[in-house]
């Protein structure tokens, strides 16, 4: 695979990229589908519909066939044009292309605008003579100049889609605007121009108004477009219900995209009750009519289970393959996942890699991220960090937040090429602004890892790398990395790579407070007043927090000590003894010693030489020197007594 070729248009990160529930298409994705459909006619019109579109004035349309023929044979150019249209298959008559061509030529030779219009239509559709869109456009232009609004609309349509002429939406708009006075089809195309700001200033309210007028006049494409934009709008249930009404009209007229969207509405309860089985019925109908997104969604439904349809990986794969065979990029991505994970097919990492590449080349941006993941880790082939970095770059260039984060990570750590810390951090920061929260963690980990590496590599306390380590740890800590905050506090407390600054150290320990080590050091600093003002009450709270949250033996001992002596908290000997016993049970020598002293003092009637001896012996066995001395003295007194 060579990613250096020109781009053709068209373990946490694994978990976040795999969907485990059905999700509706995002508005941006729906509008992407919509934008693509607006660039092509959504209904393939037959000859009859086309002739009706270019039909003559009402008088000629109602003229009996016998009278029309008499007038045409008499040399009436307008009658000849009408007769040509009828022979082309309009108004319920049998399509006779040769006759249509004969009468259209006769009318056109008499310089009748209507005759030139129908001749242009025959050329455009290839009826009675070879198709020639360029000549059709020329004839439409002549007919439009001669006053034919219908021919003008036909020319505007050709300019909008670039049929027979260079695409020129700006030139199409005036023709469509004139045609919109008479024809719903012209209104519908003009609405597209307003919606996307093509050839005219973007005005989506104007687009909706035009689509409503055209839909009311029976134009199915307008119903579909209006249903689509109202569905994407998301402004309350009223819009959603109206969207369903228009989509149902379009679906009844045979538009597959409308059927697909009704499936989405039923699946996720937008504008209608949520009913996965109804949704599946719409998806099946839409897929049967050729809609690739519906075919893909059927795969999703079988992969994850929906309504009465159980999970079935093999059936899901069948639908994805059907969609992929006709160019659906995301279906290729799903097939790649199936091969990678062995879902519905034997696990084959090489096939997964191949499908990721195909999906990426088809325009599925996320596929570049998965491709990069496989190439970086040697999943499906030999590791290739250089190509992995290029794959991530492709995703970043296409605006994918995840891809930008992975590309930034490669730049930051020099994966697949030279490191560029500044640019890597900028890419990750951009990904974070785009909503990819994991990007923050990548930046944090980089600076933390760098700081720790410099600390470990330092040859002595005077190593200049220690100052750089402190700077790196500070960067990670500022971003919220707790362990970095703790290590920075340690450096400030001990003067490693920086001057000793206990008040600042305490601030960073507080940021790292979810860590038990930080809790205990905060408590000790406040209890003993080391470099900061002593605060026994807060110190006790930190000891108690560590004891409760982490079952730490030292924290239990300290909590018990404070309760037993009333330091920073009201004296509660019973509670203090309970904490001391729990600490002693974990081998905390100081707790054993304190319990011995408690019994020797006889606090609250607890005097017991036997108990004191037991706790002193336990503390001494744990290496407590003071306990050993007291034990020897007490045992001596007992022997002497």
**CA 375 to CA 391: how far, in whole Å?**
9
Whole-number Cα distances in Å, 255 to 198, 215, 233, 244, 422: 24, 14, 21, 14, 51
Whole-number Cα distances in Å, 313 to 15, 364, 404: 19, 22, 31
Closest CA to 439 of 394, 412, 417, 409: 409
Q: What is the pLDDT of residue 58?
A: 46
Residue 245 CA neighbour count, 13 Å, CB half: 9
SS3 content of the chain, % helix, strand, coil (to 5): 70, 0, 30
- Is the dihedral angle over the CA atoms 421, 450, 415, 390 positive or is it negative? negative
Q: Could you count the other beta carbons within 10 Å of the beta carbon of residue 567? A: 15
Closest CA to 402 of 375, 377, 368: 368
Q: Token pair for residue 349?
A: 């990492």
**CA 148 to CA 412: how far, in whole Å?**
65
**Angle subtended at Cα 102 by Cα 98 and Cα 104, rounded to the nearest 5 degrees:** 115
How many residues appear in the chain? 641
Closest CA to 137 of 109, 153, 366: 153
Q: What is the pLDDT of residue 2?
A: 44
Q: Provide the β-strand partners of residue 309.
A: 306
**DSSP type of residue 57:** -
**CA 377 to CA 35: how far, in whole Å?**
37
Report whether 156 contacts 162 (CB < 8 A).
no
**DSSP type of residue 63:** S
Whole-number Cα distances in Å, 263 to 204, 223, 307, 575: 25, 16, 13, 64
Report whether 595 contacts 579 (CB < 8 A).
no
Q: What is the pLDDT of residue 96?
A: 87
Closest CA to 366 of 411, 409, 324, 399: 399
- Is the dihedral angle over the CA atoms 33, 35, 38, 40 positive or is it negative? negative
5's CB contacts (< 8 A; 6+ apart) are: none
**CA 623 to CA 625: how far, in whole Å?**
6
Considering only the C-alpha atoms of the chain, give the largest distance between any 2 of them, rounded to a whole number of Å.
150
Q: Token pair for residue 227?
A: 């249903």
Report whether 330 contacts 296 (CB < 8 A).
yes
**CA 335 to CA 91: how far, in whole Å?**
48
Q: What is the pLDDT of residue 1?
A: 44
Helices 113-125, 133-145: axis angle to 10 degrees equals 160
464's CB contacts (< 8 A; 6+ apart) are: none
**For residue 221, what is the enclosing H or E element?**
helix 220-233
> Which 3 state secondary structure label does DSSP give 197?
coil
**Angle subtended at Cα 437 by Cα 436 and Cα 443, rounded to the nearest 5 degrees:** 105
Report whether 332 contacts 365 (CB < 8 A).
no
Report whether 317 contacts 338 (CB < 8 A).
yes
Q: Is 434 exposed, middle or buried (0-12, 13-18, 19+ CB in 10 A)?
A: middle
Helices 349-361, 365-377: axis angle to 10 degrees equals 150
Q: How far is CA 399 from the centre of its chain?
A: 11
Whole-number Cα distances in Å, 90 to 47, 122, 218, 536, 559: 7, 12, 18, 96, 95
Closest CA to 285 of 311, 326, 252: 252
Q: How far is CA 256 from the centre of its chain?
A: 25
User: Average pLDDT by consecutive 10-residue portion of the chain (641 residues)?
Assistant: 35 42 64 58 39 46 84 91 83 78 91 89 90 93 87 92 94 94 93 94 95 95 94 78 95 95 94 95 97 96 92 96 96 96 95 96 96 95 96 96 97 97 96 95 96 95 95 96 97 96 97 96 96 95 96 97 96 96 97 95 83 95 95 88 65
Report whether 230 contacts 246 (CB < 8 A).
yes
Closest CA to 10 of 378, 249, 330, 314: 330
Q: Is 206 exposed, middle or buried (0-12, 13-18, 19+ CB in 10 A)?
A: middle
**CA 102 to CA 294: how far, in whole Å?**
45
**CA 259 to CA 298: how far, in whole Å?**
13
Residue 99 CA neighbour count, 13 Å, CB half: 16
Report whether 301 contacts 17 (CB < 8 A).
no
């Amino acid at each position: 695979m060579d990613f250096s070729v020109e781009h053709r248009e068209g373990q946490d990160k694994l978990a976040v990229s795999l969907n485990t529930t059905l999700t509706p298409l995002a508005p941006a994705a729906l509008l992407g589908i919509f934008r693509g459909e607006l660039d092509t006619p959504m209904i393939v019109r037959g000859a009859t519909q086309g002739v009706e579109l270019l039909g003559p004035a009402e008088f000629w349309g109602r003229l009996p066939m016998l009278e029309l023929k008499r007038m045409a044979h008499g040399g009436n150019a307008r009658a000849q044009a009408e007769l040509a249209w009828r022979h082309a298959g309009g108004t319920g008559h049998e399509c006779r292309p040769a006759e249509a061509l004969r009468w259209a030529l006769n009318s056109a030779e008499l310089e009748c605008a209507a005759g030139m219009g129908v001749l242009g239509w025959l050329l455009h559709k290839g009826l009675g003579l070879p198709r020639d869109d360029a000549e059709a456009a020329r004839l439409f232009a002549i007919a439009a100049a001669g006053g034919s609004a219908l021919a003008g609309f036909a020319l505007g349509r050709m300019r909008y889609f670039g049929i027979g002429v260079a695409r020129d939406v700006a030139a199409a708009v005036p023709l469509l605007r004139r045609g919109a006075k008479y024809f719903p089809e012209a209104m519908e195309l003009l609405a597209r121009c307003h919606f996307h700001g093509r050839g005219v200033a973007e005005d989506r309210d104007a687009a909706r108004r035009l689509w409503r007028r055209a839909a009311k006049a029976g134009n199915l494409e307008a119903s579909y477009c209006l249903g689509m934009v109202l569905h994407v709008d998301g402004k309350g249930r009223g819009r959603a219900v109206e969207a369903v009404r228009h989509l149902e009209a379009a679906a009844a007229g045979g538009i597959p995209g409308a059927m697909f969207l009704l499936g989405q509405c039923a699946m996720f309860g937008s504008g209608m009750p949520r009913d996965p089985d109804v949704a599946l019925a719409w998806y099946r109908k839409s897929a049967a009519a050729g809609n690739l997104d519906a075919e893909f969604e059927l795969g999703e439904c079988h992969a994850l289970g929906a309504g009465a349809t159980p999970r079935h990986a093999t059936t899901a794969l069948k639908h994805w393959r059907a969609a992929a065979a006709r160019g659906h990029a995301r279906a290729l991505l799903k097939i790649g996942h199936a091969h990678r994970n062995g879902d519905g097919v034997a696990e084959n990492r090489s096939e997964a890699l191949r499908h990721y590449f195909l999906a990426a080349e088809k325009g599925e941006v996320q596929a570049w991220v998965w491709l990069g993941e496989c190439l970086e880790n040697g999943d499906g082939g030999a590791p290739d960090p250089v190509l992995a970095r290029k794959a991530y770059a492709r995703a970043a260039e296409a605006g994918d937040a995840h891809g930008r984060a992975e590309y930034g990570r490669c730049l930051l750590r020099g994966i697949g090429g030279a490191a560029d810390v500044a640019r890597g951090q900028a890419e990750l920061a951009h990904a974070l602004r785009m909503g990819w929260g994991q990007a923050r963690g990548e930046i944090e980990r980089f600076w933390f890892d760098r700081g720790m590496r410099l600390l470990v590599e330092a040859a002595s306390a005077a190593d200049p790398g220690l100052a750089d380590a402190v700077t790196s740890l500070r960067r990670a800590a500022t971003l919220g990395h707790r362990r970095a905050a703790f290590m920075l506090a340690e450096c400030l407390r001990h003067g490693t790579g920086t001057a000793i600054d206990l008040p600042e150290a305490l601030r960073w320990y507080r940021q790292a407070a979810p860590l038990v080590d930080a809790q205990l050091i905060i408590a000790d600093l406040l209890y003993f007043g080391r470099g900061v003002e002593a605060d026994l009450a807060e110190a006790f709270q930190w000891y108690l927090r560590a004891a409760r949250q982490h079952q730490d033996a030292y924290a239990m001992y300290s909590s018990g000590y404070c309760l037993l002596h009333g330091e920073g908290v009201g004296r509660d000997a019973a509670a203090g003894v309970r904490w001391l016993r729990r600490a002693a049970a974990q081998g905390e020598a100081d707790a054993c010693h304190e319990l011995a002293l408690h019994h020797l003092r006889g606090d609250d009637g607890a005097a017991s030489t036997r108990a004191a001896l037991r706790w002193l012996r336990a503390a001494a066995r744990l290496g407590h020197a003071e306990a050993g001395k007291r034990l020897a003295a007490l045992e001596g007194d007992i022997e002497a007594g």
